[in-house]
Structure formats: C-alpha cells, structure tokens
Amino acid sequence: MSQSSILVLPSVLEGLLNALCEEVGEGLPVICFDTIAYKLIITNNTDGLVIPYNNIESLASELNNLMINENRQIDLGKKAYLKSRNWQTEKIVNEYN
C-alpha cells in the first residue's frame, strides 16, 4: 500500500474499517461505496469520494478522473491526512477526559 496513490474500497459491507483509516492516515485519497460506515472517516468531495451503492459506472468514472488529475489526488489526500491527525490517542483521551 505504501506505493499506492489511491485507495479504492469497493466493499459493500465492512465491520472495522482499518484499511480505510490506515490509508487516510497515510494521506491517500479514498473512493468507496456509501454502504460502508465511512461518515466518521471521510467527507464526500472533501477528503475522499463516496459513490452510491453498486454504481459501477460512477466508481469507474471517479477513479479515472482521479487518476488523471494528480492535483485532485494530492488535495484529497492532504485533507484526509489532516483530518486523521484528530484521531491521535492523546488527543482523543484529552477530549474524553
């Protein structure tokens, strides 16, 4: 995954979204279906792309657009990375306390 530039998560059902969290934390732009629990991890068109369930044409189109638009890849990835900094253990413990 360290050599990837985009994470495509085509799952329609996921429990713990470890892969999604890990790659967002690495600054990868993410494309996923809206059937997984993405809402606490990414915001559509801000730090990732969320595709309506089973819309393969839209998934392919968004992936193609992202592959040819490196600036968009970088922008989504940076925003995802910055959001993931809020998940640091110390910060979460401080907020909980």
- What is the C-alpha to C-alpha distance for residues 26 and 78, in angstroms, rounded to an integer? 9
- What is the C-alpha to C-alpha distance for residues 30 and 9, in angstroms, rounded to an integer? 7
CB neighbours of residue 78 within 10 Å: 13
Whether residue 77 has pLDDT greater than 60? yes
Question: To which CATH superfamily is domain 7-96 assigned?
Answer: Glycogen Phosphorylase B; (3.40.50.2000)
Question: Looking at residues 86-95, what average pLDDT do you find?
Answer: 70
Q: Where are the domains of the chain?
A: 7-96
Q: What is the pLDDT of residues 15-61, one digit of tens each?
A: 556 777 777 777 888 898 888 667 778 889 999 999 998 899 999 99
Q: Is the pTM of this model over 0.85?
A: no
pLDDT of residue 14: 64
